[in-house]
Amino acid sequence: MKQSKYWIIKTFFVIILLAFIYPVFVYFFFKTPQYSLWIHNVIAKKENSAKSIHQPKIILLGGSATLFGLRAKDIQETLSIPTINMGLHAGLGLKYMLYRAQTQDFLHPKDVLIFIPEYGILFEEQITQTNTFYFLTYDRKYFNQLPLKDKIQSIYMIKPRDIIQSFKEQLTFKGKEHPPSKGYNSSTLNQNGDETINTGSKEKKISTECISFPENIDLFKKNILLLTNMRLFCQKNNIDFYISYPNLLFLEKYNLEDYYSENFLKVHKALKQANLKIIGYPKDFFYEMKYFYDTRYHLNQRGVTIRTMEFINKLKETNIPVLDSSGPKI
């Protein structure tokens, strides 16, 4: 009996010890230099391009739907205003994208910031596997300033299997991204930050499932608050801030089922209620399968051309001061 009692105490002690050791171990030793390198290089390349422009410009901020959905080069040429495609990786999350926009000094007064979040990042937690891996590898400064709860949540996102992967990467990492034939690569971006590799269609890879809307909208409300804060930041810094919707694979169900129409409307209304200026409506940016590259959010070059033209028309319809003024143009 006594032996069992000590065993119970000992076991609890070991569990507590391991529960402390695990996050400390992860914090100090977990890195995914290979997995996160593309994201790191894309961010660096795009932010440097944006920083190098010293006149009013358009920044298209978002996840990979923006990266693979719009051609900033065309917008720049048509509207004669410098434009940067700041499409990153949706897994970085809305909070982190907006954080970088506020802190990395690439936004200046009179700039136009158009934020185009994927639907997922509007509804989901801001801690994801992708951004946890990225923060612990390339942005520890950001990780360190997260609230303790978020830090713990991030670290417990990492599965034991990921740790094995991490060590494997750290041992074999040669400082280079995967070649474009094996994965996304920052070398295929043009000067405006647009992706150029997306020719043709890998139809088999594209999910034909409808996007899902959450039943619990608490997270959505929290994320809208982040957008509201961004609006206030932009107001204070004389930056024109807009929200728009991502390109998405058109599916019959979106038209046939009330559930989807109602939910798209709900999203639109919620953004409007937060006093955010909106460009377009979700259904304006639905496209057929033939225009998609490798996911339901990634257009191919044909799709990008059409989407960009339509987006330019929407921009023209929207009363954006910098487009109307005869201010500095390229």
Partner 1 sequence: MLFNSFEFIFLFLPIVFFVYFFLNQNRLIIAAKGWLVFASLFFYSYWKLEYLPLILTSLIFNYSVGSTLTSNNLKVKITRKTLLIIGITFNLGLLGYFKYADFFIDNVNSLFHSNFAALNLILPLAISFFTFQQIAYLVDSYKGLTKEYNLLNYCIFVTFFPQLIAGPIVHHKEMMPQFETIKNKLKNYKHIAAGIFVFSIGLFKKICIADTFAIWATAGFDHSTTLNFIEAWVTAFSYTFQLYFDFSGYTDMAIGGALLFNIKLPINFNSPYKALNIQDFWRRWHITLSRFLRDYIYIPFGGNKKGELITYRNLLLVFLIGGLWHGAGWTFIFWGFLHGVALVIQRIWNRLNIKLHHFWCWYITFNFVTITWVFFRATSWDDAIKVLKGMFGLSGIVLPDFLENFLFFLQDIGIQFLPYNEIINVKKGFDDYLILLYILLALLVVCFAKNSVEMLNDFKPNLKTSLFVAILFIFSFILMYKAQNSEFLYFNF
Query: Using CB under 8 A as the criterion, which residues of the chain lie in contact with partner 1 when the complex forms?
Result: 1-8, 10-11, 14-15, 17-19, 22, 153, 156-160, 204-207, 209
Taking the complex as a whole, the smallest distance from the CB of residue 164 to partner 1 amounts, in Å, to: 11
* Beta carbon nearer to partner 1, 2 or 141: 2
* Beta carbon nearer to partner 1, 8 or 232: 8
* Beta carbon nearer to partner 1, 248 or 279: 248
Taking the complex as a whole, the smallest distance from the CB of residue 8 to partner 1 amounts, in Å, to: 5
Identify any residues that bridge with 286 across adjacent strands, giving them in sequence order. Answer: 248
Residue matched to tokens 């979040």: 117
* Beta carbon nearer to partner 1, 140 or 159: 159
* Beta carbon nearer to partner 1, 160 or 179: 160
Measured CA to CA, the distance from residue 75 to residue 261 in angstroms comes to 30
| DSSP codes joined into one string, 240-277 | EEEEE---EE--HHHHH-HHHHHHHHHHHHHHHHTT-E
* Beta carbon nearer to partner 1, 174 or 204: 204
Taking the complex as a whole, the smallest distance from the CB of residue 75 to partner 1 amounts, in Å, to: 31
**Tokens standing for residue 261:** 């129409």
CB-CB contact of 138 with 42 (8 Å): no
* Beta carbon nearer to partner 1, 5 or 174: 5
* Beta carbon nearer to partner 1, 6 or 272: 6
Burial class for 17, CB neighbours closer than 10 Å (0-12, 13-18, 19+): exposed
Measured CA to CA, the distance from residue 56 to residue 49 in angstroms comes to 13
Q: Which of 189, 228, 196 is nearest to 45 (CA)?
A: 189
Cα–Cα distances (Å) from 295 to 8, 78, 82, 177, 201, in that order, read: 50, 28, 28, 21, 9
Task: Give the orientation angle of helix 2-29 with respect to helix 160-172, to 10 degrees.
Answer: 40
Taking the complex as a whole, the smallest distance from the CB of residue 16 to partner 1 amounts, in Å, to: 9
CB-CB contact of 114 with 279 (8 Å): yes
Taking the complex as a whole, the smallest distance from the CB of residue 60 to partner 1 amounts, in Å, to: 27
178 — alpha (psi -120 to 50), left (phi > 0) or beta? beta
CB-CB contact of 304 with 311 (8 Å): no
Taking the complex as a whole, the smallest distance from the CB of residue 39 to partner 1 amounts, in Å, to: 19
Taking the complex as a whole, the smallest distance from the CB of residue 66 to partner 1 amounts, in Å, to: 21
Taking the complex as a whole, the smallest distance from the CB of residue 165 to partner 1 amounts, in Å, to: 11
Q: Is 307 helix (H, G, I), strand (E, B) or coil?
A: helix
